[in-house]
Amino acid sequence: MAWTGKILRVNLNDKTCKEEPLNREWAQQYLGQRGLATKYLVEEIDPKADPLGPDNKLIFATGPLTGTMASTGGRYSVITKSPLTNCVACSNSGGFIGQELKNAGWDMVIVEGKADGPVYLYIENEKAELLPADDIWGTSVWHTDEWLHKRHQDPLLRIAAVGRSAEQGCLYSAVINDLHRAAGRSGVGTVMASKNLKAMAVRGTLGVGNIKDPKRFMQAVNAAKKVLADNAVTGQGLPTYGTQVLMNVINEIGALPTRNAREVQFEGANEISGEAMHEPRPTDGKPNLVTNAGCFACTIACGRISTVDKGHFSVKNKPEYWGASGGLEYEAAWALGSDTGVDDLDALTYANFICNEDGMDPISFGATVAAAMELYGRGVLTTEQTGIPFDFGSAEALVKAAEWVATGEGFGKDLGLGSKRLCEKYGHPELSMTVKGQEFPAYDPRGIQGMGLTYATSNRGACHLRSYTVASEVLGIPEKTDPLTAEGKPALVKAFQDATGAVDSSGLCVFTTFAWTLEDIAPQIDAACEGEWTPERLLELGERVWNLERQFNLAAGITGADDTLPKRLLEEPAATGPAKGLVNKLDEMLPEYYQLRGWTPDGVPTPETLQRLGL
């Protein structure tokens, strides 16, 4: 069965925590985590609800394999309506809290209403209660984490919390768990703070024992682990260099958005790369990277643990930042670095620490700083607004910006709006590198065509993790396609979107798919869960989730006209590299994509499509 069969419903209005049974029929259609929680959200909230109002709900959801011995089986997601995009939001995180929630006996926690003062949710197996959080409101995630551990005298308590940025209304605040893992995107932390819910602290000791066929499950799990270990990418590449090894790859192929995507190659890329993180610093002889780290049950361990040079200006006289903490992933390094033109690895690492400490999505934060830098360069913003010079390449500006957004001080309020609202406020919406209000990540769609369609059609606004066609277009996984052509990309994007929808609903990490296909994943789910789970059924489930999300967004007022890209990517050709002279060919891809999806030319699922998927 793998599901615990129990949902915890937390009502913040009347401060109650109630147990209810999981809807088993929905679990067969949507599996868990992203899919199943989206189904609950769609059924329970008005799509037009104010994301920051009491009618929005916030769901913490595990998958059926969360908490099991399956490799990477520690994932959980936060599902809500996003204040950044007004779309459905689903942000996925690793670390340890997902498995802890499952081990406490819960598939999901549904939070509704709004508390009349700061509270936190404390869960100890079947016991769940809301406790006052006045003492930690107005403090960072890291402080909250420490306070809760002390308060409950339990070093094994797992904690997810929001930082000061979320309390201050920053629209891209994350929910941070285990100090430096993040349900990062779309402002899910902002929603949590809007409900006066500061943290969720969980202790689970019940185990996840209800596996359908334990013997077959262990066989499937072990076979799949061997595939990960034997694969050069998941066995060696990711543990050694992390995702950051991509910095030089993507720069070399001319798809590294630079200085707010004005350019596609960054002269400082190698200075902020995975390779640079391994190199001893001239000052103290120590490299930025201390070690790699893994989430619960993960046999890949791609995480980075880093330090900032104690002599660096950002941490001078701040010994609290001299220790090792969560280091740069590729996305963060790109947004904080290449997109802002800053090539100072220590400044980036420090800004990343602040993003973890006070819960900001580094992609949206970095991209918003980049937009502000372009506005400043054009004279639209001056030091009157920014407080200090705000030129591209300024490490000082980046560091200050992180501190300001973290606390909501000064120019931090404007930066907390995100790139779209900031650029609109100052009269230049065209300078915002967003889709549906969400900042796009580290791949320029002029140099990787499929990513243009990926961003344009992503149900949570621009995102690379909804269909990571970079795997095929750049890395040759499962097979190499040409990044510069639009041909064949609609089918590729759809296939990645549907498969990812299934993986995100399972409790597993999407990075396994550098080595695994659904043929490796299905036997693990099938041995653990009631029902028959084949790769085909999983793919159909992914497609169902995709259409369900689409339906929600349409009902929320998002239309096919929003499936577009910033003008810069559609009209300003890349100036250097292999994509020189190219723009993104979205207009060639989108109609074919709609057709493949079984949608009308306006991007609306046809009745036949909905019926076929049981929607």
Partner 1 sequence: MRITLKLFASLAEHLPPGAGRNEAEVEVPDGASVQDVLDRFNLSQEQAHLVTRNGVFVPCSLRSEERLDSGDAVAVWPPVAGG
Binding-site ranges for ligand SF4 (CB under 6 A): 72, 94, 294-295, 298, 300-303, 509, 511
Q: Pick the stretch among 157-165, 205-213, 281-289, 327-335 that binds partner 1 (CB under 8 A).
A: 327-335
Inter-CA distances, 533 with 2, 440, 538, Å = 13, 34, 7
Q: Report the residue from 296, 330, 516, 546 that binds partner 1 according to the rule CB under 8 A.
A: 330
Q: Is 445 in the site for partner 1 (CB under 8 A)?
A: no
By CB under 8 A, the residues from 237 to 256 that bind partner 1 are: 237-238, 240-246, 248-249, 252-254
Q: Report the residue from 156, 223, 232, 596 that binds partner 1 according to the rule CB under 8 A.
A: 232
The site for partner 1, by CB under 8 A, has a size of 44
Longest alpha-carbon distance in the chain: 67
d(CA 537, CA 28): 10
Distance of closest approach, residue 415 Cβ to ligand SF4, in angstroms: 27
d(CA 300, CA 61): 23
Contact 62, 33 (CB under 8 A): yes
Residue 565, contacted partner among ligand SF4, partner 1, none, CB below 5-8 A by kind: none
* 270-273 CB contacts, 8 Å cutoff, 24+ apart: 271/343, 271/344, 271/345, 272/247, 272/328, 272/333, 272/337, 272/338, 272/342, 272/343, 272/344, 272/345, 272/348, 273/244, 273/245, 273/247, 273/248, 273/333
Distance of closest approach, residue 254 Cβ to partner 1, in angstroms: 5
d(CA 125, CA 391): 51
By CB under 8 A, the residues from 454 to 483 that bind partner 1 are: 464-465, 468, 470-471, 474-477, 480, 482-483
Contact 111, 195 (CB under 8 A): yes
d(CA 321, CA 358): 13
Contact 61, 107 (CB under 8 A): yes
Q: Which is nearer to ligand SF4, 47 or 94 (CB)?
A: 94
Q: Where are the beta strands (DSSP E) in 410-520?
A: 434-435, 438-439
Q: Pick the stretch among 274-282, 387-395, 455-463, 586-594 that binds partner 1 (CB under 8 A).
A: 274-282
Q: What one-character-per-residue DSSP string does 232-264 give?
A: HIIIIIHHHH-GGGHHHHHHHTT---BTTTTBS
Distance of closest approach, residue 339 Cβ to ligand SF4, in angstroms: 22
Determine if the peptide bond prior to 478 is cis (ω within 30°). yes
Q: Is 146 in the site for partner 1 (CB under 8 A)?
A: no
Distance of closest approach, residue 266 Cβ to partner 1, in angstroms: 13
Residue 220, contacted partner among partner 1, ligand SF4, none, CB below 5-8 A by kind: none
Q: Which amino acid is at 117?
A: G
Q: Which is nearer to ligand SF4, 238 or 583 (CB)?
A: 238
H helix or E strand, kind and range, residue 527:
helix 518-528
Residue 301, contacted partner among partner 1, ligand SF4, none, CB below 5-8 A by kind: ligand SF4
Q: Which is nearer to ligand SF4, 435 or 442 (CB)?
A: 442
Residue 72, contacted partner among ligand SF4, partner 1, none, CB below 5-8 A by kind: ligand SF4
Residues that bind partner 1 (CB under 8 A): 231-234, 236-238, 240-246, 248-249, 252-254, 270, 274-276, 279, 329-331, 464-465, 468, 470-471, 474-477, 480, 482-483, 510-511, 514, 577-578
